[in-house]
Amino acid sequence: MQSLATSARPLPVILDEALGDLTLPADPLVEPETITRYANLLATGAAIAEQTSGAPLIQQRHLLAVAVIGDELPDPLITTLGVDRTEFAARLRDAIVEHFPDDDADAWRRILGPADLASVFVTDLVSAGRRRPGQSPPPPLVDRLGLNV
């Protein structure tokens, strides 16, 4: 028996030959929509693998990226991790770039987002610290550059 990893034949051909005589029951346990959804997730994973690793061999990091960019991770999981989706994607991207140096880091940045995002919240009235209940707010920070923005 030959390993799939060493076979020169494409996986769909091998599966077609192996499952060619298989007939599905009239009432399958898995809905066709679910099969289509998972097929799309795997296709996206293969595309990410091709872009980042140069081959469509799907590994855990590719599937996790699919889950992150496709909003497949449930909100309670993200909340339990103590980060928002953007931060989770950024941490995943940084970890992948660090631990898989042969992967294309620029491709990972395109997929999971750039490392340096400018804040969309700007104010001159940034408080200097946290308040205790009943404590008055601290004064705003002083504009020492004189930009008056």
Q: Tell me what the mean pLDDT of segment 32-60 comes to.
A: 89
Q: Tell me what the mean pLDDT of segment 3-7 comes to.
A: 54
98 inside domain = yes
First to last CA, the chain: 71
21 inside domain = no
Q: Tell me what the mean pLDDT of segment 14-23 comes to.
A: 62
39 inside domain = yes
Q: 87-132, pLDDT tens digit by residue?
A: 888 989 999 999 999 999 999 999 998 765 544 444 444 444 555 6
Q: What is the pLDDT of residue 72?
A: 73
- Reported confidence tier of residue 17, pLDDT bands at 50, 70, 90: low
Give, to the nearest 10 degrees, the angle between helix 85-99 and helix 105-112: 170
67 inside domain = yes
pTM beyond 0.75: the answer is: no
Closest CA to 73 of 82, 62, 83, 64: 64
| Number of domains forming the structure of the chain | 1
Q: What is the pLDDT of residue 85?
A: 82
Closest CA to 65 of 82, 39, 42: 42
20 inside domain = no
Domain hosting residue 84, numbered range: 33-121
43 inside domain = yes
d(CA 64, CA 137): 42
